[in-house]
A = this chain, B = another copy of it.
Amino acid sequence: MKRSLGCCYYPEHWPEALWAEDAARMAEAGLSWVRIGEFSWSRLEPRPGELDWDWLDRVIDILGQAGLKIILGTPTATPPRWILDKWPDMLALDPQGRPRTFGSRRHYCFSHPGYRAESARITRLMAERYGSNPHIQAWQTDNEYGCHDTTLSYSAAACRAFRDWLAEKYGTITTLNVAWGNVFWSMDYGRFDQIDLPNLTVTEPNPSHLLDFRRFSSDQVVAFNRLQVEILRQHSDAPLVHNYMARITDFDHYRVGADLDIASWDSYPLGFLEDRSDACDDWKRRFARQGDPDFQAFHHDLYRAVGRERWWVMEQQPGPVNWAPYNPAPLPGMVRLWSWEAFAHGAEAVCYFRWRQAPFAQEQMHAGLLRPDSVEALGLTEAKDVATEIEALPEVGTAQARVALVFDYESAWAWQIQPQGASFDYFRLVFDHYRALRKLGLSIDILPPNTADLSTYRLVLIPGLMTFRQPLRLALQRFEGAVLAGPRSGSKTDNFAITLGDSVMPGLGVKVVYVESLRPGAELPLAQGGSLSYWFEALDTAEPVLEQTVDGEVARVGNERRQYLAGWPDQSALLRILEELCQLQGIVCKHLPEGVRIRDTTTHRFIFNYSAERIEFDDIDLAPAGVVWKTR
């Protein structure tokens, strides 16, 4: 497949006189796609019911005439001020009970019926007008669901909807009381309308209460999005896409993605390194201008799974941003590297955010491909290089990994609700596995927890999966490759109770006697090297012991094909364990130098240098921020 580039554009921010020139420059730079409209509601409908499509008609025409394909966004992430006059209670409340007010964006509660109706109305109006416009080649629903902690709302609307959701799920209040274990601390309810949202309780609420609230909240995002999807599909055949964010686990992206055609995400490597990474300060300092070498790759693979192989980068950082604690500029070459890392992972398109830096409002310090004075910024220069390289490059194949890693949103909720130790974080646990695989030179597929077919893999990793559900259980029964699961995998029932009776891991006989969360400095060294940190589980098992701690505690059990980890291995131990499993499965590993990463597709091997130094690797000379590809 030929890959393509694009950008995000806000014609409403600029004088109409600039539009044609902007369009021409985009096309000339080799960009194919342009996303517009997603924050423009106050200009499309300045007053209730008073629609102004003219300017949008004109800009679509200008862009389309310049040969650009348009992604049109529904503008529901930024309801205009007058909608609040109509629905004053449409705001989300935060966990402290405070309204999250107008004045920025995403100021709505997903559960508010009035705002859902507004969202449907504006979507329908846009779909009717542009659904068959040939320049509209894709639709984006809303913008960055869940960003700014907006999935969870503690509003009255959310409370009412949650009660209905529970009544629907449980049928009778007794069923709910039993499922949650409400006999504990006399928490029994008599009626569904006695159940409040689980905030502001004296001490921690029932974890089952919390988990159902998280499931409900995720469902509300799915439902909100689906309403737009159904309307858009009535009027347009163009593919539907949403732009997700990094490390947002508050809703189940697989379920939103199932209603859409393409997944996309907004990739800000430098901002995310400062803002959302668990890496230590030294790592952040070393990669400050390059971004974490594995963080983007992880999300590329995650959203590839969410999009069922169809995915994009909808917003690619082109220079310094404005929102992280520290905002350095990318090392020259990194905008190109990030683009190629996306393509190597199968991205159909990479769109840079934004075409021109706005000199006003919240994001005025966020770089664009152009400076605010329209001068070309370094981001555009590198984008042009990528465009040229795309032209020159023969078809880039899609990858087929031999290693897979299960990532599950519900498990993220479960362990946020019940970390049991200050350091336990599900994303971090999965990401640690991902990073170790990348350091071994491997390409990885990420799988949802309901995966029913594992037959194309040789090795599947399932760390921290709260519950093994039926499709995965069946797939595992049939799976001939190796599986490494644990810690915490299979430890809970669907109702968030401890798994009793059965083994925590399908295919092995393992029970967890107790768990320990470990303070920094209390790591448990392993006899074979490395150590367990954060977490240890004492097992009751008759399975062969594969390794032990220096103190003789069982750390890993099982056999060549099924293994269970009784703790959280550090990188050194993970590398050793994963390499061992790969060797058993005939997967070739390669210990990469710091900062070097590889991505294989059916047609090419891509080699990336995330370090700021020149590196000699495998007879290849990698410049700082260098990218090299070889046909396979």
Contact = CB atoms under 8 A, between A and B. Distances in A.
B364 A497 contact: yes
9 closest cross-chain pairs (CB), A and B: A181-B360, A184-B361, A42-B186, A359-B498, A78-B186, A103-B201, A181-B361, A42-B188, A326-B519
Contacts of A285: 519, 521-522
Interface string A536-566: 0010100000000000000000000000000
A306 B364 CA distance: 33
Given A98-B96, A180-B360, A422 B188 contact: no
A440 B105 CA distance: 49
Interface stretch (A18-26, A125-133, A371-379): A371-379
Where chain A touches its partner, the secondary structure class is loop
A199 B496 CA distance: 38
Tell me which of A41, A105, A367 has the highest count of chain B C-beta atoms within 10 A of its own C-beta.
Answer: A105
Contacts of A418: 322, 364-365
Given A79-B186, A326-B522, 16 more contacts: A42-B188, A102-B201, A103-B201, A104-B185, A104-B201, A107-B201, A181-B364, A184-B361, A205-B362, A322-B418, A325-B422, A325-B519, A359-B498, A364-B497, A365-B515, A373-B500
A78 to B, nearest CB: 4
A36 to B, nearest CB: 13
Contacts of A498: 357, 359-360, 364-365, 372
Contacts of A233: none
Interface string A1-26: 00000000010110000000000000
Nearest to A357: B498
Interface of A: 10, 12-13, 39-43, 46-47, 75, 78-82, 84-85, 92, 96-107, 147-148, 150, 180-190, 194, 196, 198-209, 274, 281-282, 284-285, 288, 319-320, 322, 325-329, 357-365, 367, 371-373, 375, 377, 418, 420-423, 495-498, 500-501, 511, 513-522, 538, 540
A386 to B, nearest CB: 20
State the number of copies, please.
Answer: 3
A200 B98 contact: yes
A281 to B, nearest CB: 7
A482 to B, nearest CB: 29
A140 to B, nearest CB: 15
Nearest to A207: B362
Given A327-B420, A329-B538, A421-B325, A319 B514 contact: yes
A42 B516 CA distance: 33
Nearest to A178: B360
A209 B361 CA distance: 9
A207 B518 CA distance: 41
